[in-house]
């Protein structure tokens, strides 16, 4: 999609998105959306008449975006993304950060949570410093939410594509130092709750506003229950890198997947590329958990947006192979993140489940906003909310993206 050069509709200039089908709050209806000063000021019929009668309207003529025959949705919110367009947040450079944000922004993501991988502390510290720098200065494309720490406190048996050299148990001195280095901007932390010290970590960080998530875990159902009582409330890439029903002798053992289904107060995220989670499991998860408790994510890596071929994952030189939309470690069939974007995720999950599009969009907008505690200003098309908006056609091909009232493409 062609960039519009981060076109700003001035502080009090007005933008009217006219004639589209609005998708918000799990509902679908015809309405115009009026934007001013970076916020949504009106959702309803005939935005032009409303603007003419509004005594706060600027004297300049309103900019009109014709959305007839298209959907108008809150901007997509991706809680779990590592990279794209050849760059990775782990590269630790401002150029890489801006490249990833611009790439995902062009596919409808307006808020993204940069995600680390298990690696060296020196590399992590470099990425954190760059994150703070880019966030303070701003960048074209998707805005950044808080930092997502994925690891390094994982089960070795469920590590997936995480580098085994850096796996360890939670270390209070280490994780509190990371909190200090980010100026408290860690928004979520994914770890295996069965590891020694994981519960103490959860209690300490939850008190500081961090979302504690089960991830790359071999925990039993009972261990997941204990972890929930310690502060774990979300499941990172549900099914992937996660224990499920197994046998212990003649007895069956329920795992983290079963606990995720059981506990109505635990939310889950699904990599919606159609590869990590097949149609049958998507349907089952929506049936049991519902769109209110499912966040769709990409788990995208640097190869997203690039041709099939071999690429590097993380700092350790792990080689991955991308073929026909699937990323695996080059020497095995282990999935290694995805090459998805949020528009592809919404399109794929919609087609595979057959559910109403409004419900799928809810899992890409309102639900992740609520999970991260930003649903007072993001994730919905409501008056007073940030003007983060994506416009797309009947095949979820994105035509316009607006971030904070700025038309970015």
Per-residue pLDDT for the chain (409 aa), expressed as one digit of tens each? 655 555 544 446 899 999 999 999 999 999 999 999 999 999 999 999 999 888 665 556 789 999 999 999 999 999 999 999 999 999 999 999 999 999 999 999 999 999 999 999 999 999 999 999 999 988 899 999 999 999 999 999 999 999 999 999 999 999 999 999 999 999 999 999 999 999 999 999 999 999 999 999 999 999 999 999 999 999 999 999 999 999 989 999 999 999 999 999 999 999 999 999 999 999 999 999 999 999 999 999 999 999 999 998 876 668 899 999 999 998 778 999 999 999 999 999 999 999 999 999 999 999 999 999 999 999 999 999 999 999 999 999 999 999 999 999 9
Domains and CATH numbers, the chain: 7-73+382-407 (2.30.40.10), 76-371 (3.20.20.140)
**Per residue, what are the HEC states of 33-64?**
EEEECCEEEEEECCHHHHHHHCCCCCCCCCEE
Residue listed under structure tokens 């966040």? 295
What's the confidence (pLDDT) of residue 23? 98
Q: Report in angstroms the alpha-carbon separations of 406 from 23, 35, 70, 198, 386.
A: 20, 10, 19, 41, 11
Half-sphere exposure of 349 (CA within 13 A, CB side): 34
Distance CA 27, CA 71 (A): 12
Supply 255's token pair: 């795992």
Supply 157's token pair: 């048996």
Give the helix ranges, DSSP H, for 155-300: 172-181, 198-206, 221-230, 256-262, 279-289
Distance CA 400, CA 52 (A): 24
Q: Report in angstroms the alpha-carbon separations of 391 from 43, 166, 295.
A: 15, 42, 20
CA 183 vs. chain centroid, Å, equals 21
What's the confidence (pLDDT) of residue 39? 97
Q: How many residues does the chain have?
A: 409
* Cβ atoms within 10 Å of 154's Cβ, excluding its own: 26
What's the confidence (pLDDT) of residue 1? 66
In terms of Cβ atoms closer than 10 Å to its own Cβ (0-12, 13-18, 19+), residue 306 is middle
In terms of Cβ atoms closer than 10 Å to its own Cβ (0-12, 13-18, 19+), residue 321 is middle
Q: Which helix (H) or strand (E) holds 371?
A: helix 366-371
Do residues 85 and 99 touch, judged by C-beta distance below 8 A? yes
What's the confidence (pLDDT) of residue 331? 79
Distance CA 90, CA 185 (A): 17
Collapsed DSSP state (helix, strand, coil) of residue 2: coil
What's the confidence (pLDDT) of residue 291? 98
Distance CA 43, CA 22 (A): 9
Distance CA 337, CA 329 (A): 10
What's the confidence (pLDDT) of residue 73? 98
In terms of Cβ atoms closer than 10 Å to its own Cβ (0-12, 13-18, 19+), residue 2 is exposed
Identify the CA nearest to 233 among candidates 264, 207, 255, 257: 264
Cross-strand pairs, 269: 295
* Cβ atoms within 10 Å of 58's Cβ, excluding its own: 16
What's the confidence (pLDDT) of residue 10? 46
Identify the CA nearest to 158 among candidates 225, 80, 81, 238: 238
Do residues 109 and 75 touch, judged by C-beta distance below 8 A? yes
What's the confidence (pLDDT) of residue 316? 64
């Amino acid at each position: 999609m062609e960039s519009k050069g981060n076109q700003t509709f001035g502080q009090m200039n007005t933008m009217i998105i006219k004639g589209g089908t609005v998708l918000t709050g799990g509902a679908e209806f015809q309405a115009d959306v009026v934007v001013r000063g970076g916020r949504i000021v009106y959702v309803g019929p005939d935005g032009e008449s409303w603007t003419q009668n509004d005594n706060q309207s600027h004297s300049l003529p309103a900019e009109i975006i014709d959305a007839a025959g298209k959907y108008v949705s809150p901007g997509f919110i991706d809680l779990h993304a590592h990279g794209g367009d050849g760059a990775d947040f782990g590269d630790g450079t401002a150029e890489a950060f801006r490249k990833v944000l611009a790439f995902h922004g062009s596919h409808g993501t307006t808020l993204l949570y940069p995600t680390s991988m298990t690696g060296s502390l020196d590399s992590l510290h470099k990425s954190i410093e760059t994150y703070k720098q880019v966030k303070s200065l701003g960048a074209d494309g998707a805005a950044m939410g808080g930092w997502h720490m994925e690891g390094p406190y994982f089960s070795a048996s469920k590590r997936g594509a995480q580098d085994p050299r850096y796996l360890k148990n939670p270390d209070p001195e280490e994780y509190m130092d990371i909190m200090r280095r980010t100026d408290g901007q860690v928004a979520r932390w994914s770890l295996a709750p069965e590891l020694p010290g994981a519960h103490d970590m959860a209690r300490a960080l939850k008190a500081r506003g961090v979302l504690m998530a089960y991830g790359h875990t071999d925990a039993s159902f009972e261990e997941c229950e204990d972890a929930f009582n310690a502060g774990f409330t979300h499941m990172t890439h549900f099914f992937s890198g996660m224990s499920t029903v197994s046998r212990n002798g003649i007895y069956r053992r329920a795992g983290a997947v079963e606990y995720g289904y059981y506990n109505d107060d635990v939310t889950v995220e699904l990599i919606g590329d159609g590869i990590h989670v097949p149609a049958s499991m998507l349907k089952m998860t929506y049936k049991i958990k519902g769109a209110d408790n499912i966040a769709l994510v990409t788990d995208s890596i640097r190869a997203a947006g690039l041709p099939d071929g071999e690429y590097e994952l993380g700092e350790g030189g792990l080689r991955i192979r991308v073929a026909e939309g699937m990323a695996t470690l080059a020497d095995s069939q282990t999935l290694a993140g995805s090459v998805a974007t949020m528009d592809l995720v919404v399109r794929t999950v919609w087609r595979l489940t057959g559910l109403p599009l409004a419900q799928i969009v809810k899992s890409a907008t309102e639900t992740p906003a609520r999970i991260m505690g930003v649903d007072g200003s993001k994730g919905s098309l409501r008056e007073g909310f940030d003007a983060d908006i994506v416009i797309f056609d009947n095949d979820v091909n994105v035509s316009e993206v607006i971030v904070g009232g700025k038309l970015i493409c």
